[in-house]
């Protein structure tokens, strides 16, 4: 896979995964608000993390438009999420397996929360989300 194609592939993956991460932050915020006595500090952290993820999603979508990459169908399957997209005039299909989604989402949620992800760095480099490299 040449560099440009790899970058397009990573943009599609990011565009599929970032909304899942945002949903997880939202779901967790609702649980925290309901079940903790002093939820405000935790909610502030989740909201800050969600803002970073939202900025990345905006940047990913903008870069996809710039490159002419468009996802035209996404569907949940028992084993993961399938995305169909057009890239450089070719129709492509990507399957993100549930285990990979969960592992990658957990790493990126840690990053957005400002936690140390250096133990995951080599793995994260392989599956970079977003177009930014630091926050």
pLDDT (tens digit per residue) in 90-124: 999 999 999 999 999 999 999 999 999 988 865 44
**Tens digits of residue pLDDT in 22-34:** 999 999 999 999 9
Q: How confident is the model at residue 135 (pLDDT cuts 50, 70, 90)?
A: very low
Mean pLDDT in residue range 82-95 = 94
3-state secondary structure of 37: coil
From the list 29, 5, 3, the residue with the least C-alpha distance to 89 is 5
Task: With a cut of 50, say whether residue 70 has pLDDT above it.
Answer: yes
Phi-psi region of 80 (alpha: psi -120 to 50; beta: other; left: phi over 0): left
Query: How high does pLDDT run on average in the chain?
Result: 89
DSSP bridge pairs for 98: none
What is the per-residue pLDDT for 128? 53
Residue 133: pLDDT above 90?
A: no
């Amino acid at each position: 896979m040449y560099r440009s194609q790899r970058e397009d592939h990573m943009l599609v993956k990011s565009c599929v995964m970032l909304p899942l991460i945002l949903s997880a932050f939202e779901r967790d915020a609702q649980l925290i608000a309901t079940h903790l006595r002093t939820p405000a500090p935790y909610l502030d952290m989740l909201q800050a993390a969600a803002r970073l993820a939202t900025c990345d999603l905006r940047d990913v979508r903008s870069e996809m438009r710039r490159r002419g990459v468009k996802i035209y169908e996404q569907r949940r399957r028992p084993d993961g999420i399938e995305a169909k997209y057009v890239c450089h005039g070719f129709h492509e299909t990507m399957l993100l397996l549930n285990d990979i989604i969960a592992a990658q989402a957990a790493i990126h949620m840690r990053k957005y929360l400002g936690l140390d992800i250096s133990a995951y760095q080599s793995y994260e480099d392989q599956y970079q989300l977003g177009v930014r490299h630091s926050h």
